[in-house]
Structure formats: structure tokens, C-alpha cells
A = this chain, B = another copy of it.
């Protein structure tokens, strides 16, 4: 019997609502599989934990999470309780950094049964590979002077190692897809980091002659995501550019509540972490209407990661049949509760 040990961190807001649903789905998948089981350890880290303990996680929190095969996370942050830069850098971004989750993989595609806000969404199916450890997300920098003369300096730090690693990941992924990689750049406006990014892209591309490449500035790229998303296969992007593109990707799918992500550790020293793209959505907490798809699609990425691609595909295909048949939460134009959607998914998986 293959056992996958998950550290479960529901986090804040709707994270706490959708994660248990996704675990029920994972258990159903395991049952169907026969040879697979999940073991869960739950951690109540998040903003409420902070209000009680003055920290987003326990002092030995990282060590305990490290004992798992993967971390399964809901959502982190609730600005009404804890300022975002504290909650995020104390939990979500801390895990990404300390577990060296240097790659963030985020697919977007036309999801059956869910209407895109685009008039004519050609059958797009793309994946953003986001550098997930450095770049614009950096604690290097600071502030100087007070009052009217104050200045803030933010350092973006790009290393050849992490940049190239993200690009190599994108090229390898493209080899199993439509063999096209787009590099998100801004070398016409951003002086040092982006020309560097372009050079590394060119150098990396030279090793993958079988892959077509194009570099596009982030502004034009963001606009083309809206006008012609079908043009993209794999996109490699810096931390910030990837962040923005993947939210647009979620937008053109019809809801941020659908989009999944995998934060991958590549050096084998720490577990990887799986979390949906959406946040904690304090505005809809407690109403039972959170869209569970983001968390469930994220579970599919987790299955893939642990070599269970077949179960992963079955899970996502069944999910799409459920939405195609109209089981939709309000964010995607339906009137179903989170429960209804998940129950229907589980019912279909079981039959």
C-alpha cells in the first residue's frame, strides 16, 4: 500500500472551508485506487494562530511540516486581522522560501461548463511556470528619511541559478506539450534584471532546439492573454510577472476560484506545497459558497506530482463533467453551495 503523508494547512478564510472537501475527494480517489492511502496531519497555522500566539506558525512549525511528503495548503491572509506582509511572509512565503519551492506551476484552460468572460475563448490551454523564490519578492532594501523626503528602495534580486532553473523547467514541460515557450520580459523598461533575464532565456533556449520560443514584454503579454490566450503553451515568468499572469489566467477561465498551483521543490530536501491561486476571500467566508474547484484541481496536481497521473486525470475530468452539468457556485454564475458541487463530484467518482 502506497501511503502519502500530507501536512494540511487550511490557513485562513475559505481555505478552512474548501480544504476538508478536497481531503474527502482525495480519500475517495484513494479508495477507488485500492493501492493508495493518505495520512493527514492538520496544522492550524494562520491569522487566528497569530492573534493567539504572536506568530503565524509554531516555533518548530517548519520542522513539523518537513516531516510530510507534501504540504496541502488552503489560503493565507486576512488583512482585517493581521497585515498582509506579516501573515504572508510568516507562513505562505516563508514556506516557499525555506522549503526552496523555487518553481510554481499554474495551468489555465477553458474549463468545461464554466463561462469565460471572453466573448470567444478559443480552446486555450496554457501553463505558467513562475520563478517562485526571488526576483521582485525580496526583503532586501529599505527606507530612508522621514516625512516629505522619504524614499523606499526595493531590490529585485535575480540569480542565474534560479532563473535558469525556472526556464529549464518550462522547456522540459513544453517537450511534453505543444513545444512552445514564451518568456515574459520587460527588458525595454526595466534596466538590469530583465536584459539579464533575456540573456539567460536565450542561453537556455539554445539547449532546446526542438522548442519554439518567443519573448514578449509583460504589458503586451498580459493584454494578449485577454485577446488571444490560445497563442500560448508554456510561459516562463519572474515571480511578480508570474503572479500577475496567473491571476489573469484565472480571470479568463471565469473565476479565480478555479485556478490551482503546485509549488515545487526540485532538490529533494523538502516537501513540495500545493495551494490554489485564490486567497482567503473574507467577504464570502461562512456562506458555504466558496468554489471548491481551485482546491480540488490543486489536489489533482498533487496526485500528478506523486506519480498518480491517471487518478489525477480522472479527478479533473470528472470535475469537468460536474461543472458541465451545471453544478456551479455563484462566482461562476451558479447557485450551488460548495457542498453540492463536492457531493456530486464524489458521487460520480464512486459510480
With an 8 A cutoff between CB atoms, is A187 at the interface?
A: yes
Indicate which residue in B150, B243, B250 contacts A159 across the interface (CB closer than 8 Å).
B150
Indicate which residue in B93, B155, B188, B195 contacts A153 across the interface (CB closer than 8 Å).
B155
With an 8 A cutoff between CB atoms, is A337 at the interface?
A: no
With an 8 A cutoff between CB atoms, is A211 at the interface?
A: no
Residue-wise interface mask of A (77-115) relative to B, using a CB-CB cutoff of 8 A (1 in contact, 0 not)? 100000111001100010000000000000000000001
Give the Cβ gap from A189 to chain B, nearest Cβ, in Å.
Answer: 5
Residues of B within 8 A of A186 (CB): 240, 243
Give the Cβ gap from A228 to chain B, nearest Cβ, in Å.
Answer: 9
With an 8 A cutoff between CB atoms, is A39 at the interface?
A: no
A residues 144-183 in Cβ contact with B at 8 Å: 145, 147-161
Residues of B within 8 A of A50 (CB): none
Residues of B within 8 A of A142 (CB): 192
- Give the complex CA separation of A8 and B268 in angstroms: 59
With an 8 A cutoff between CB atoms, is A141 at the interface?
A: yes
Residues of B within 8 A of A222 (CB): 222, 244, 247-248, 251
Residue-wise interface mask of A (232-269) relative to B, using a CB-CB cutoff of 8 A (1 in contact, 0 not)? 00000001100110111011100010000000000000
The answer on a CB contact under 8 Å between A240 and B141 is no
A residues 123-142 in Cβ contact with B at 8 Å: 136-139, 141-142
With an 8 A cutoff between CB atoms, is A119 at the interface?
A: yes
- Give the complex CA separation of A83 and B193 in angstroms: 15
Residues of B within 8 A of A139 (CB): 191-192
Give the Cβ gap from A177 to chain B, nearest Cβ, in Å.
Answer: 24
The answer on a CB contact under 8 Å between A220 and B159 is no
Residues of B within 8 A of A244 (CB): 218-219, 222, 244
- Give the complex CA separation of A141 and B141 in angstroms: 12
The answer on a CB contact under 8 Å between B155 and A154 is yes
The answer on a CB contact under 8 Å between B156 and A150 is no
With an 8 A cutoff between CB atoms, is A196 at the interface?
A: yes
A residues 183-210 in Cβ contact with B at 8 Å: 186-197
With an 8 A cutoff between CB atoms, is A223 at the interface?
A: yes
Q: Can you name the residue of chain B whose Cβ is closest to the Cβ of A157?
A: B153
Residues of B within 8 A of A189 (CB): 88, 93, 136-137, 239-240, 243
Indicate which residue in B85, B151, B187, B248 contacts A160 across the interface (CB closer than 8 Å).
B151
Give the Cβ gap from A86 to chain B, nearest Cβ, in Å.
Answer: 10
Indicate which residue in B194, B197, B223 contacts A248 across the interface (CB closer than 8 Å).
B223
Q: Identify which of A190, A239, A252 gathers the most chain B CB atoms within 10 Å of its CB.
A: A190
Give the Cβ gap from A76 to chain B, nearest Cβ, in Å.
Answer: 9
Give the Cβ gap from A223 to chain B, nearest Cβ, in Å.
Answer: 3
